[in-house]
Amino acid sequence: MDYRPVIVMRMFTLLVLVSLWVAVPVSAADDPDVSFASVLAPLNTRDFEAKSRAIAAISELKHERAGIVLQALLDGSLSSAKSTKRIVLVREIETGYEVEDAVTAAPLGMLKRTELKRVSVNNKLRRQLRELIAHRALGANDPVARRKAVEAMTDALDATGRALLIKLRSTESDDDVLHAVDIALAIADLESSSTEERNDAIDTLHGSLNPLARGRLAALVAADDTADDTRRAAASALTAIEQRVAFFEFLQVIFFGLSLGSVLVLAAIGLAITFGVMGVINMAHGELIMLGAYTTYVVQLLMPQHIDWSLLVAVPAAFMVAALVGIAIERGVIRFLYGRPLETLLATFGVSLVLQQAVRSIFSPLNRSVSTPSWMSGSIEINSVLSLTYNRLTIIIFTLVVFAALMAVLRYSRLGLEVRAVAQNRAMARAVGVRGSWVDAMTFGLGAGVAGVAGVALSQLTNVGPNLGQAYIVDSFMVVVFGGVGNLWGTLIAGMGLGVANKFLEPSAGAVMAKIVVLVFIIVFIQKRPRGMFPQRGRAVEN
């Protein structure tokens, strides 16, 4: 019962305010809260005429809470507290009714249902409220808010709303809002009695992505009393709409596919270096990705205040960690096994088990949570069908940047030159003074480092746990082999292609089945073209 003192206090304040208003009318009229409260007071009657006048008065006031109060009245969440007769906003929560002052938004604690009396409205008042709310929103400064208001009015546009929109059209400068107004008027005009107006409206709606337009046109086509030419025009407009929707849905699937493909490319691209360029089967590749993801986790632990910037630190850190571990693997194990690919496969698999268990012992076998920076949430809404989420967009761009950087290193740096020389002809490269074993270590470090960077990206998408790497190892090998060993462009195209193919299969086959279909496709493809889509040519192939 702790709200009672509050209410008593509030009552007292109100009394004081009212007495002030009575005593000093001039200053009270200046105080917007007081005048707002006085305008609200008539709502507490049974007289709908009085309520209607009160609603008009509320709307006249330029009080910041006026919009909220009108909306609450429409929603039926405006009540009067029986004890104090004051108008309050009510929000139903699990334990009861939470109440706040309609004028000041000050919380008034919890009340029981019996202590409240809802301010009732009838249909006439509802119509008035809707108009006023829309009208207020149409006058908003923010064009997006104005467009939203127009769109909200589109569904049930009456004569007054129409007049408002036509008025808005003459003053509006924002193109998006104008477009929304045109669509809204056209949808209303579909029911017009004038054939000309109807046909104009159909023309306007030709290819519109507004879901309402689609429904109304479909209804018009289906209706019995539609004139033949109107029906034909509507049908063609509808076809145009469906084509556009299909087109944007297609783009959306491509976008999803590219983002999935980016993940595949990121996971595979380090392998494209170690496997593709050096010919080393590194089964610990997945665990190097996992190390990158755990590095992200540690970086975020170290800088909890700056999660937004943590990824910028994590990328170089993950690169270094994974590269160092990679170099250690190369020096410790792989260099003894060059030319024996199957043995390399087994030994590096052993390394992967050790790394997994090490992570399990250090960080616990449970998944760790890595936070997503705030700038990666949200999306760009192109239209009602197509929206690009920032996290997917980021991963696509990130993949392309990593790819470009890797290509640049291989192409323009001294190390890249030496890597290519050793890959093409080890003996000759050594003869002209390239330190073969040093280049091996650096190449492997580069591939491992890129795997670590992939781990940073993957930490944003999947659970960071000891099994993270295993989930990607089969996929990575598939992408590299499919694209053609020793061909980075092949890896890029294969990864993106497989990602898109997967997303196109998903709606009809389901996610798991799509994956199986893609795997089987690759298995069959490799039988047909054992060296992938873009095989290396020349003498270097046969060794």
Stretch that binds other proteins, among 75-83, 114-122, 237-245, 357-365 (CB under 8 A): 357-365
Q: Exposed/middle/buried for 235, CB within 10 Å: 0-12, 13-18, 19+?
A: middle
Q: In the Cβ-directed half-sphere of 406, how many Cα atoms lie within 13 Å?
A: 32
Q: Based on CB atoms, which residue is closest to other proteins, 489 or 521? A: 521
Residue 217 binds other proteins, judged by CB under 8 A: no
Cβ proximity of 151 and 180 under 8 Å: yes
Stretch that binds other proteins, among 70-78, 163-171, 304-312, 341-349 (CB under 8 A): 341-349
Q: Based on CB atoms, which residue is closest to other proteins, 262 or 344? A: 344
DSSP β-bridge partners for residue 100: 89, 107
Among 345, 407, 415, 421, binds other proteins (CB under 8 A): 345
| CA torsion through residues 426, 430, 433, 437, sign | positive
Q: Based on CB atoms, which residue is closest to other proteins, 337 or 407? A: 337
Residue 346 binds other proteins, judged by CB under 8 A: yes
| CA 1 to mean position of chain CA atoms | 44
Q: How far apart are CA 74 and CA 125, in angstroms?
A: 8
Stretch that binds other proteins, among 28-36, 239-247, 250-258, 334-342 (CB under 8 A): 334-342
Least distance from C-beta 299 to other proteins, angstroms? 26
Q: Based on CB atoms, which residue is closest to other proteins, 402 or 485? A: 485
Residue 413 falls in which region: left (phi positive, over 0), alpha (psi -120 to 50) or beta:
beta
Q: How far apart are CA 455 and CA 293, in angstroms?
A: 4
Binding marks (x or -) toward other proteins, 176..215, rule CB under 8 A? ----------------------------------------
Residue 522 binds other proteins, judged by CB under 8 A: yes
Q: Based on CB atoms, which residue is closest to other proteins, 516 or 540? A: 516
Q: How far apart are CA 464 and CA 24, in angstroms?
A: 67
**E strand residue ranges, 366-447:** 379-381, 387-389
Q: How far apart are CA 149 and CA 137, in angstroms?
A: 6
Q: State the number of binding residues for other proteins (CB under 8 A).
A: 42
Among 83, 195, 239, 357, binds other proteins (CB under 8 A): 357
Q: Which of the residues 453 through 472 are near other proteins (CB under 8 A)?
A: 470
Among 281, 317, 323, 402, binds other proteins (CB under 8 A): 281
Residue 520 binds other proteins, judged by CB under 8 A: yes
Least distance from C-beta 319 to other proteins, angstroms? 24
Stretch that binds other proteins, among 149-157, 183-191, 245-253, 523-531 (CB under 8 A): 523-531
Q: In the Cβ-directed half-sphere of 491, how many Cα atoms lie within 13 Å?
A: 31
Q: What are the CA-CA distances from residue 415 to residues 135, 337, 422, 442, 445 (Å)?
A: 67, 23, 10, 8, 12
Least distance from C-beta 365 to other proteins, angstroms? 9
Q: For residue 467, what are the contacts with CB-CB under 8 A and spacing of at least 6?
A: 356
Residue 350 binds other proteins, judged by CB under 8 A: yes
Residue 331 binds other proteins, judged by CB under 8 A: no
Least distance from C-beta 353 to other proteins, angstroms? 3
Among 307, 333, 385, 434, binds other proteins (CB under 8 A): 333
Residue 541 binds other proteins, judged by CB under 8 A: no
Q: Exposed/middle/buried for 93, CB within 10 Å: 0-12, 13-18, 19+?
A: exposed
Q: Which of the residues 359 through 378 are near other proteins (CB under 8 A)?
A: 360-361
Residue 62 binds other proteins, judged by CB under 8 A: no
Q: What is the DSSP string of 243-308?
A: HHHHHHHHHHHHHHHHHHHHHHHHHHHHHIIIIIIT----TTHHHHHHHHHHHHHHHHHH-GGGHH
Residue 508 binds other proteins, judged by CB under 8 A: no
Q: For residue 9, what are the contacts with CB-CB under 8 A and spacing of at least 6?
A: none
Q: How far apart are CA 172 and CA 145, in angstroms?
A: 13
Q: Which of the residues 479 through 498 are near other proteins (CB under 8 A)?
A: 481
Contact positions vs other proteins (CB under 8 A): 281, 283, 333, 336-337, 341-347, 349-354, 356-358, 360-361, 470, 473-474, 477-478, 481, 512-513, 515-516, 519-520, 522-524, 526-528, 530
